[in-house]
Amino acid sequence: MGRRSLFAVLAAVSAALAACGRQVTPNPPDLNAGGANPGFMTVKFDVAGPFDFSNYQYWIVFNTSGNRLSPLTNPTQNNFAAFSNAIMVGAVNGATAAQPYQWIKGANPAASPAAHPFQVSPNQLQYVVNSNGSGTEFTLTFARSIFVSHAAATPTPGASAAPYAKTWLFNAFVTQANSQGQMLFVDSMGAGGGTDTTWVSPPLPICTNFDNPYYKNADLNPPSDPAAQIASVEIANNGATRTCPP
C-alpha cells in the first residue's frame, strides 16, 4: 500500500456531511481557554497550502477512553482501540462541511468497532472554513458532550462506545478516498506521515482550561501536495462544566 494505509469508513459520508456541521458564524466566545465556551473545545487545523477538499478529507481524531493509546495510521493493529471520536471536514455539493464520527463496538466482540457519522445542531458544532484568510486553516468549535450524547442514543442492541476519561489523546490526519469507498492515510502529525506509527499524543486534560499549538513532527518524505501536508493543530479547551467529563 506504499505510504498509505487502509482506513475504513462508512460509504454514506457524503449524505451525512450534507446534513451536519455546515459553516456558521461562531457564538461570541468566552475570553478564557482560547475563546472556547464552558464545556467546549476549539480546534484550528493548518496545512502547508490551501485546502483541496475535492481530493482530501481532514480529520481530528480523539481517544477518549483513557487507555493511553495514541490514534495512529494502523488502527486495525489494535482493533481501533485508540479511535473513539472524530470530526472530519470534507466536500459536499461544491462546499465543505464538518461531520462528527464515533467508533462503536457492536454485539460481536470479534468485530472491529464501526465508524458512525451522526448529526448535531449548529449550536453544538461550529465550522469556519477559512479562519486565517489564507485558505490554509479551518476552525472547529464543538461541545465535548456531542460524543457522549451520541453514545447514549445509540440504538444498536449490544453496542457500546468507549468510556470517557478526563484526559484525551489525539492525532490529525489527511486522507484520500479510493474506488472502493475506503480512505487512505496521506499525512498525520507523526514524522512518518501517512504510514507513521511513532506519534505520541500530548495529553489533553479536558477538565482544565488550555490553549496549545501542536506542530507536526518533521517529515523527511512529506506528501508532494502542500494541501495534504499538515502544519499544526491548535487545541483550546474550556473545562468549566458542572460535571467533568465530558
pLDDT at 6: 44
64-to-153, 159, 200 alpha-carbon distances in Å: 18, 17, 15
DSSP 3-state of 195: helix
Q: What is the mean pLDDT of the chain?
A: 84
Three-state secondary structure of 10-77: CCCHHHHHHCCCCECCCCCCCCCHHHCCCCEEEEEEEECCCCCCCCCEEEEEEECCCCCCCCCCCHHH
Q: What is the pLDDT of residues 138-172, one digit of tens each?
A: 999 999 999 986 665 555 555 555 568 999 999 99
The domain segmentation of the chain, as residue ranges, is 6-237
Spatial distance between the Cα atoms of 91 and 27, rounded to a whole number of angstroms: 24
State the maximum Cα–Cα separation within the chain, in Å, rounded to a whole number: 48
pTM of the model: 0.85
The partner residues of 98 in beta bridges, in order of sequence, read: 89
DSSP 3-state of 134: coil
Grid coordinates representing 18 are 450534507
pLDDT at 241: 78
